[in-house]
Amino acid sequence: MKMNQGISLKLCLAVVVGMLAFSTAGAQKATEEDRAKTKTKQAQAVSKPVYEKIQKAQEMVDEKNYRGALKSLNNLYDPDKLTEYEV
């Protein structure tokens, strides 16, 4: 059971880190005409404090401290304080 929790936590963290990495990739330059035709959309990002806590949890996973990483992520989760994207 402990092994499954560790694998699940690693997978969860990998998805989160992947989302963070790819959220800024692939930006394209548009011409002025394209910009005039296209409605702008707010870019999604996580705040610096949230990112830093996720990164610390990832470091704990790297050190095989799965319980500490999970506890850290659980402490981070507060829908009232996080943006919809961060949740």
Considering Cα of 73, then 74, then 77, then 78, what sign does the dihedral take?
Answer: negative
pLDDT tens by residue, 10-67 = 777 777 776 666 655 544 455 666 666 666 666 678 889 989 999 999 999 999 999 9
- pTM higher than 0.75, yes or no? no
Report domain extents, the chain: 1-22+45-87
Type of residue found at 34: D
pLDDT tens by residue, 69-81 = 999 999 988 888 8
Give the Cα separation of 64 and 58 in Å (integer).
10
Q: How far apart are the first and last CA of the chain?
A: 26
